Chains A and B, each alone.
Chain A
Amino acid sequence: MATIEGAAPTASQTGVASASAAGALTDTDQAQVASPQGDIWRRFRRNKLAVAGLVVIAVMVFCAVFAPLVTSYSPRELGSASRAKPSAEHWFGTDVLGRDLYTRTVYGARVSLKIGLSAVLIATVIGVVIGAVAGFYGGKLDGLLMRSTDIFLSFPYILAAIVIVTVIGRGENSVILVLGLLGWMSIARLFRASVLQAKQSDYVEAARAVGCSDFRLIVRHILPNAIQPVIVYSTIFVGTAVIAEAALSFLGAGVTEPTPAWGLMVAQGRSFLFTSPHMLFFPAGAILVTVMAFVFVGDGLRDALDPRLR
């Protein structure tokens, strides 16, 4: 795996330096005409898929926040036209209870994004803290933390989520809690590995020699570099969380009626696949588009942060 080496603390510098040659010129600092941040953004921009993903996410966030503005019905409003096909009044058609599917899909974005982002936030915070402590201090503490991580990791994600939700009860908050608590392990491992690598690098040694405190060392020196793989992972993890929430709701172990959730809608639609496929495919499509957007953005971030990894 490519390492972040050398004395320059910003990974993008090494990124630019190595982007310029087949190994023969890597130890020169070739002209760096733009700033590192500008470079990252510029590389990101060139990845059309990533940009598209970002746009989609922006639209989705907008819809989630301003849902009432983009829809004309209420998501729980029962109607008379049951299982109607897409039409001018009902862009996505209606479900069994006559509710407008377009509205429910838009409001579903709210649910999915809220759950996805919250869960990933929880998982990331926990994971980074644990990974930092384990990686930085090493020794018995590291061993203990990693064993606990292994124990938690011994459960397959979805299965564990199902089991726990069965036990603590369904609903939005349960799902957030479960997804967050089950997701920190990979992040902890990832971050720990980064911290271990960064710990041995020259610039950390230098900072330590100057008398940097542990906390400052971690936060100011190690974090900015080591956090990059975590950022990429977490971005993609939002997509995973959205899928997991949908899966849970689909199985009846997630968000419950009458909350509009894509997974629930898929489950409801499955019985009518033959006659009214739109009931299943619109929410399914929403899941798909959302997750793809996050995956593309995550990929784009990774490529922009370190082009060598392409």
Chain B
Amino acid sequence: MGGYILRRALLVIPVVWGAITLLFLAFFVVPGDPVEVMGGDRGVAPEIRANIEAKFGLDQPLVVQYGRFWNRLAHGDLGESYRSGRDVNDILATTAPNSLRLAFWAIVIQILIGIGAGLISAVKRYSFVDALTTVSTTMLLAIPAFVMGYILIYMLGVYTFQHDFPSWLKFPVQGIGPDRWLGPIPLGGQWRFLLMPALTLASVQTALVARMARSSMLEVMRADYMRTAAAGGLSRKTIYLKHGLKNAMIPVVTLLGLSVAEMIGAAVLTETVFNWPGIGSSIATAITFLDAPIVLGLSLVLVLTYVLINLAVDLSYAFFDPRIRYGGESA
């Protein structure tokens, strides 16, 4: 198994290198004049332009820029915003905790609701729960994050206000609110601001997890070793919970890991919809202003996170499946 881990870990390096280089190429090789951005509407005088170019090194040959780029990265310097001059690291530090908290709760929702619904509908096939799960997961998969967000906003934030529902059903529609947390736990009325964004962020992935849990469990239920267990006279409970579950969860856990990674993309949309000040919405805003350093720097962080999570998932797979852990046959 050591070999597997090593190979898998080493794989990260060319991937990360490739990703960083692609991002670099995307931003520095292609047209789009950041100087205009910085100048705003007034245009930029030539001396100032030269100044800016020198400062950001935009006038150097590409190779040099590439080198400087890596140099800065190695020092943990992600650059400064073209627009505001703020350190990207600074932006990262402020926005990351918000994104992390949102992600945390989205994952909790996925685990509890997704796996729960999936397992129940597999075990009680054709029951009401099963039908409900199948229909709702299909629907959820089809509803893009941003549409989901607005549906929730409208239902809980607009309709309830306009039609005078009890106040506990009235939810705030934007922003992060008081921003009071104990680690990931929302304090006071904070949860009201958290609920809709978390549900939205989790929606698609919960549907995927539920479906995967269901189909994985169904497949496991049909496996021969389940038959062996039944022939051995094990109780249904033992068969399902012990023999079935462990096998069924292998692909589910993998999917969970992957879905965490996928959430990164969805986060951009969700945070934009709810104006949740996280990494995603910063990127979204930066795009409209063509503020390359922010987009680049934050995307880089997200890509790295994505790669690392995928790595962790692949490695965990070895942990769960003894076939990989202990390798092949012994006579």
Contacts and interface: CB of A to CB of B under 8 A. Distances in A.
A247 B146 contact: yes
Nearest to A156: B265
B150 interface: yes
Contact of A154 (B138, B287, B306): B306
B141 interface: yes
Interface in A192-248: 239, 243, 246-247
Nearest to B304: A154
A46 interface: no
A151 B18 contact: yes
A274 B173 CA distance: 11
Interface stretch (B190-198, B266-274, B318-326): B266-274
A280 B139 CA distance: 18
B15 to A, nearest CB: 5
A154 B295 contact: no
Given A154-B310, A250-B269, A251-B287, A159 B150 contact: no
Contacts, number: 124
B144 A243 contact: yes
Given A273-B150, A299-B138, A158 B287 contact: no
Contacts of A281: 150, 154
Contact of B142 (A155, A164, A288, A310): A288
B146 A266 contact: yes
Contacts of A284: 147, 150-151
A166 B142 contact: no
Contact of A166 (B141, B143, B295, B302): B295
Contacts of A150: 11, 15
A69 interface: no
B147 A288 contact: yes
Interface residues of B, number: 51
Interface in A136-179: 147, 150-151, 154-159, 162-164, 166-168
B65 interface: no
B244 to A, nearest CB: 17
Interface string B251-282: 00000000001101110110011000000000
B138 A292 contact: yes
Contacts of A296: 138
B322 to A, nearest CB: 19
B158 A252 contact: no
B287 A287 contact: no
B147 A295 contact: no
A1 B19 CA distance: 32
A166 B158 contact: no
B27 A167 contact: yes
A159 B268 contact: yes
Interface string A250-263: 11110000000000
A158 B266 contact: yes
A239 B150 contact: no
Given A150-B11, A247-B144, A155 B306 contact: yes
Contact of A156 (B23, B264, B288): B264
Contacts of A6: none
Interface string A273-284: 110010011001
A162 B267 CA distance: 13
Contacts of A273: 150, 153-154, 158, 173
B116 interface: no
A109 to B, nearest CB: 16
A166 B154 contact: no
Given A156-B265, A251-B284, A151 B19 contact: yes
A291 B14 contact: no
B10 to A, nearest CB: 11
Given A156-B261, A252-B288, A266-B150, A239 B299 contact: no
B284 A280 contact: no
Given A167-B27, A167-B30, A266-B147, A154 B272 contact: no
Among A155, A162, A288, the one with the most B-chain Cβ atoms within 10 Å of its Cβ is A155
A296 B135 CA distance: 10
Nearest to A299: B138
Nearest to B139: A292
A270 B142 CA distance: 20
Among B27, B146, B150, B264, the one with the most A-chain Cβ atoms within 10 Å of its Cβ is B146
8 contacts: A154-B18, A159-B264, A252-B287, A270-B150, A273-B158, A288-B147, A291-B144, A295-B138
Interface of A: 1-2, 49, 147, 150-151, 154-159, 162-164, 166-168, 239, 243, 246-247, 250-253, 266, 270, 273-274, 277, 280-281, 284, 287-288, 291-292, 295-296, 299, 309-310
Interface of B: 11, 14-16, 18-19, 22-23, 26-27, 30, 32, 138-139, 141-147, 150-151, 153-154, 158, 173, 215, 218-219, 261-262, 264-266, 268-269, 272-273, 283-284, 287-288, 290, 295, 299, 302-303, 306-307, 310
